[in-house]
């Protein structure tokens, strides 16, 4: 069988002829195998349109990758594709640059001039002799590649050489996202997750075409980003975590490495410094931030809403300005998240002034302010973004003030919520969230008073009070995260739980190949 895997198109006939009367020459086309056809129908998030023509493209040792130089960044995306496909296939997959792609056995990353595709859409034409992915911008090529990945056998996800015939069913896919904000949030404050863990999470979210990673960088239990003008934030405030573990923080160099790794995968990092509540780690690091001038104790519990900055102290706003200045200079993306949630011990009139002053500082550093929907109590402008998590009233209030909204309803897509009463990790204050419940809702209609033009997109927060390792993070994220990605990418009329659960069931082998330890929900017909 070895030869079969080396040159499938020519050898398959030779092998089959020994057992049957059928014979395929090298030139004859082959109908798509059942598996390849199933993969074509199974892509998550579901493409806007996909039509198979029922034949087969074979990725072989002869396949080349060709990038159209007309598209800025296409060469890097082509290199990314090569690096993705080489480990499991063992093929060379040389990358070339050409403004038209003639010849056989190639994957052509082409420029398009197709306004309907926008900045992130792509059109993929899979013929027997070549695959053409066309896009207006390199982000679209990248998302076409994420689709192609799922059209290949799941063995493509493994990092060692696999003996597999690399078949892709032929056809056409035209695809683009319904929302510009397709996010995941990782709480690195309650427990710290190092650079490699964050890169792993970025790899996982990008494979479902998500494009924002919100990092919750500070909270009562830990401060996770080095601030040079206030060094004790990281060295002292970063030394704790929930349960009393050792904590940790990103140096500015490490944070920059994460930002770059994300940008190379079309992910924008959204850094959050949670204020004026959720600030105990800062209050423990610098006594002058407290009303009595004395530092608090580090905190390792999981209560919320007990800490606050002081509105009437000048040093408070020197601190906020320094932190946001350093953070904005490290962050090329346009957003700064100022938290703003659960400030239960901040007086309401102080809270409003806090948010208004944070907004001025964010603006001064040319960023766009994001905050939890609680910020709707302040004077938002049209540039502000409110993240809906629990209150329809506050989300509607934010919209009345012309702000945009990100949909993160806790009872649906807080993926730290337990799946059911037997789940060992996670919390359940917003209810149990089974896989169907996380999927089966519409971001466009969930909150009265909100409509398409107010909604920037969807984001799945993952709080880590109970999660200490990336494996535990993955168990809570999977399989709910691919469903959230589909809510963010695929238009409502192309989605439905009964259809999705079949695709998700068929996706099990791919999650396994990626090394994901996922929750085997009894509501999904798993095929393993």
Binding site for ligand TNX (CB under 6 A): 304, 341-342, 372, 389, 414, 416, 427, 463, 465
Give whichever of 427 and 502 is closer to ligand TNX, judged by the CB atom.
427
Residue 525's CB: how many other CB atoms inside 10 A? 11
Give whichever of 390 and 495 is closer to ligand TNX, judged by the CB atom.
390
The three-state secondary structure class of 247 is: coil
Identify each DSSP E strand in 291-379 by its residue range: 335-339, 368-372
Distance CA 471, CA 468 (A): 8
Residue 2's CB: how many other CB atoms inside 10 A? 7
Distance CA 57, CA 446 (A): 42
Cβ proximity of 166 and 59 under 8 Å:
yes
Given the residues 154, 157, 326, 342, select the one marked as catalytic: 342
Residue 248 sits at the vertex; the CA angle it makes with 246 and 250, to the nearest 5 degrees, is 175
Query: In this structure, are strands 122-126 and 166-175 parallel, antiparallel, or unpaired?
Result: antiparallel
The three-state secondary structure class of 300 is: coil
Shortest spacing between CB 284 and ligand TNX, in angstroms: 17
**In which element (H, E) is residue 59 found?**
strand 49-59
Give whichever of 162 and 387 is closer to ligand TNX, judged by the CB atom.
387
Give whichever of 125 and 425 is closer to ligand TNX, judged by the CB atom.
425
Shortest spacing between CB 339 and ligand TNX, in angstroms: 8
Strand partners, 216: 187, 272
Cβ proximity of 416 and 466 under 8 Å:
yes
Shortest spacing between CB 111 and ligand TNX, in angstroms: 42
Distance CA 327, CA 217 (A): 11
First vs last C-alpha separation in the chain: 24
Give whichever of 153 and 237 is closer to ligand TNX, judged by the CB atom.
237
Q: Is 288 a catalytic residue?
A: no
Shortest spacing between CB 310 and ligand TNX, in angstroms: 21
Q: Is residue 354 packed enough to be buried (19+ CB in 10 Å), middle (13-18) or exposed (0-12)? A: buried
The three-state secondary structure class of 395 is: helix
Shortest spacing between CB 217 and ligand TNX, in angstroms: 13
Distance CA 489, CA 350 (A): 39
Shortest spacing between CB 430 and ligand TNX, in angstroms: 7
Shortest spacing between CB 301 and ligand TNX, in angstroms: 12
Distance CA 213, CA 201 (A): 9
Give whichever of 104 and 344 is closer to ligand TNX, judged by the CB atom.
344
Give whichever of 207 and 279 is closer to ligand TNX, judged by the CB atom.
279
Cβ proximity of 422 and 441 under 8 Å:
no
Cβ proximity of 337 and 183 under 8 Å:
no
Distances (CA, A) of 31 to 55, 203, 307: 4, 33, 64
Give whichever of 141 and 225 is closer to ligand TNX, judged by the CB atom.
225
Cβ proximity of 280 and 304 under 8 Å:
no
Shortest spacing between CB 343 and ligand TNX, in angstroms: 10
Distance CA 409, CA 170 (A): 39
Shortest spacing between CB 150 and ligand TNX, in angstroms: 31
Give whichever of 128 and 465 is closer to ligand TNX, judged by the CB atom.
465
Residue 318 sits at the vertex; the CA angle it makes with 312 and 324, to the nearest 5 degrees, is 120
Give whichever of 298 and 508 is closer to ligand TNX, judged by the CB atom.
298
The three-state secondary structure class of 240 is: coil
Per 3-state DSSP, the chain is made up of helix, strand and coil in percentages (nearest 5) of 40, 20, 45
Shortest spacing between CB 49 and ligand TNX, in angstroms: 36
Distance CA 35, CA 510 (A): 13
Active site residues: 342
């Amino acid at each position: 069988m070895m030869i079969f895997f080396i040159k499938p198109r020519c050898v398959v006939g030779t092998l089959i002829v020994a057992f049957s009367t059928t014979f395929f020459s090298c030139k004859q086309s082959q109908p798509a195998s059942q598996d390849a056809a199933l993969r074509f129908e199974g892509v998550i998030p579901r493409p806007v349109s996909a039509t198979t023509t029922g034949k087969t493209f074979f990725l072989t040792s002869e396949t080349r990758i060709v990038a159209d130089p007309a598209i800025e960044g296409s060469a890097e995306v082509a290199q990314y594709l090569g690096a993705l496909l080489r480990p499991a296939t063992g093929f060379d997959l040389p990358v070339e640059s050409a403004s038209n792609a003639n010849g056989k056995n190639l994957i052509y990353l082409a420029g398009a001039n197709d306004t309907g595709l926008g900045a992130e859409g792509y059109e993929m034409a899979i013929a027997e002799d070549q695959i053409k992915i066309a896009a207006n911008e390199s982000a679209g090529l990248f998302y076409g590649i994420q689709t192609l990945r799922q059209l290949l056998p799941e063995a493509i996800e493994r990092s060692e050489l696999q003996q597999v015939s690399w078949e892709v069913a032929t056809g056409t896919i035209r695809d683009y996202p319904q929302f510009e904000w397709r996010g995941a949030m990782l709480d690195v404050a309650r427990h710290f997750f190092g650079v490699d863990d964050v890169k792993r999470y970025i790899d996982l979210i990008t494979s479902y075409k998500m494009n924002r990673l919100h990092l919750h960088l500070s909270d009562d239990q830990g401060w996770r980003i080095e601030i040079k003008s206030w060094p004790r934030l990281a060295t002292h405030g970063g030394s704790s975590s929930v349960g009393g573990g050792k904590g940790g923080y990103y140096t500015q160099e490490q944070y920059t490495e994460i930002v770059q790794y994300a940008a190379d995968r079309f992910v924008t990092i959204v850094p959050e410094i949670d204020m004026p509540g959720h600030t105990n780690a800062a209050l423990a690091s610098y006594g002058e931030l407290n009303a009595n001038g004395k530092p608090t104790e580090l905190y390792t519990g999981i209560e919320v809403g007990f800490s606050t900055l002081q509105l009437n102290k000048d040093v408070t706003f020197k601190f906020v300005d320094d932190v946001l200045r350093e953070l904005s200079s490290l962050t090329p993306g346009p957003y700064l998240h100022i938290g703003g949630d659960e400030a239960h011990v901040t007086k309401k009139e102080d809270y409003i002034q806090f948010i208004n002053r944070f907004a001025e500082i964010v603006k001064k550093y040319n960023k766009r302010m994001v905050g939890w929907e609680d910020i709707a109590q302040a004077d938002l402008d049209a540039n502000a973004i409110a993240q809906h998590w629990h209150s329809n009233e506050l989300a509607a209030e934010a919209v009345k003030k012309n702000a945009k909204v990100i949909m993160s309803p806790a009872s649906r897509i807080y993926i730290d919520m337990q799946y059911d009463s037997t789940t060992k990790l996670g919390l359940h204050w917003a209810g149990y969230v089974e896989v169907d419940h996380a999927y089966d809702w519409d971001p466009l209609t969930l909150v009265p008073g909100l409509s398409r033009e107010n909604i920037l997109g969807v984001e799945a927060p993952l709080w880590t009070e109970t999660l200490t390792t990336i494996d535990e993070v993955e168990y809570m994220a999977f399989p709910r995260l691919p469903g959230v990605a589909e809510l963010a990418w695929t238009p409502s009329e192309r989605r439905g739980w009964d259809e999705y659960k079949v695709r998700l069931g068929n996706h099990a082998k791919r999650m396994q190949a990626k090394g994901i330890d996922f929750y085997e929900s009894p509501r999904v017909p798993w095929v393993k």
